[in-house]
Chains A and B, each alone.
Chain A
């Protein structure tokens, strides 16, 4: 079973990078550069997001002949709403125990 944990800072950075151009397919290297992540952090997050259905992934033909096809990513519909919900959680005012806004 996949736990619905709070997103880490790195996951948020990656979601932000993906969210910036939601319709665009992105390469791992571009995403790592934009989100400021190393490949060692990037891939486990990509795998997790994909397993939770938040990420679409597909293979693209190489730009240069002789190179292997490249894996590209973009947020799925569910991933986009997840990213938006995280954004809202960040900007919404703190909430008291009974659900009323404290601010």
Chain B
């Protein structure tokens, strides 16, 4: 049973750390307060449920950043429109990188989500074309599934651009 106790303590600790990381950007003092309380309760009954609660608290206290969700939706929409109206070229990579960079700069904490979302747009649009047969007028050929999957290669540059945007945000904000 000693092993189970150690495992639950370790798990509670990991969950507490995750909760604190989530909360840290907006409420650093409260993130530290939750961690301190967690450390104090290591041997108390219910320390694991306390840790889960802390994670819920971190979500509740930072929930729904509508401005970011709006920016992400606008970025995905812009990329979708671009992809629908233009054929793939080097400019597509540039568009992915520029939008990824802007989103990374706008919301540094969510740079990974921004990069993946923007980078996956081209593959998603092509998958839509393949599955539904609805295609833009200029498109003369059908994409195969392998070709659709190949377009997910745009995800890494988008994540990279978003990470650069994140770095830029911190540089600009000192």
Chain A minimum-CB-distance residue to B35: A68
Q: Which of B29, B30, B37, B53 contacts A40 (CB 8 A)?
A: B53
Q: Measured between C-beta atoms, what is the minimum distance from B148 to chain A in Å?
A: 41
B35 / chain A contacts, CB cutoff of 8 Å: 68
B49 proximal to A (CB < 8 A): yes
Interface status of B21 (Cβ within 8 A of chain A): no
In the complex, residue of chain B having the shortest beta-carbon distance to the beta carbon of A64: B40
Q: Is the CB of A47 within 8 A of B40?
A: no
Within 8 A of A (CB), among B6-64: 27, 29-30, 32-37, 39-41, 44, 49-58, 60-61
CB pair B32–A40 under 8 Å, yes or no, is no
Complex-state Cα separation, A42 to B57, whole angstroms: 8
What is the CB-to-nearest-CB distance from A81 to chain B, in angstroms, rounded to a whole number?
A: 24
* Interface size range of chain B in the complex: 20 to 34
A32 CB, min distance to chain B CBs, angstroms: 8
Nearest chain A CB to B36 CB, angstrom units: 4
Interchain Cβ contacts within 8 Å, total number = 69
The answer on a CB contact under 8 Å between A71 and B33 is: yes
Contact A43 B40 (CB under 8 A): no
Cβ of A85 under 8 Å from chain B: no
Whether A29 pairs with B57 at a CB distance below 8 angstroms is no
Question: Which among B29, B32, B36, B57 is the interface contact of A39 at CB below 8 angstroms?
Answer: B57
* Interface residue from A28, A38, A41 paired with B33 (Cβ < 8 Å): A28
A98 within 8 A of B: no
A43 touches B41 (CB 8 A): no
Contacts of B50 in A (CB 8 A): 29, 32, 38-39
Complex partner residue of B52 from A28, A40, A46, A47, CB under 8 angstroms: A40
Q: Are B53 and A29 in contact (CB under 8 A)?
A: no
Most buried by B among A29, A40, A62, A70: A40
Q: Knowing A29-B44, A39-B54, A71-B32 are in contact, say whether A44-B39 is a contact too (CB < 8 A).
A: no
Q: Report the Cα distance A27→B53, complex, angstroms.
A: 16
Bound-complex Cα distance A42 to B50 (A)? 11
- Please tell me if the beta carbons of B55 and A40 are within 8 angstroms of each other in the complex: yes
A51-79, CB < 8 A from B: 57, 62, 67-71
Bound-state CA distance A41–B54 (Å) is 9
Taking CB as reference atom, which chain B residue is nearest A60? Answer: B36
Q: Closest 5 A-B residue pairs measured CB to CB? A: A40-B56, A39-B53, A71-B33, A43-B57, A40-B53
* A contact residues vs B (CB 8 Å cutoff): 27-29, 32, 38-44, 46-47, 57, 62, 67-71
Known: A39-B50, A71-B33. 7 other contacts (CB 8 A): A29-B44, A39-B51, A43-B57, A57-B29, A62-B40, A71-B29, A71-B32
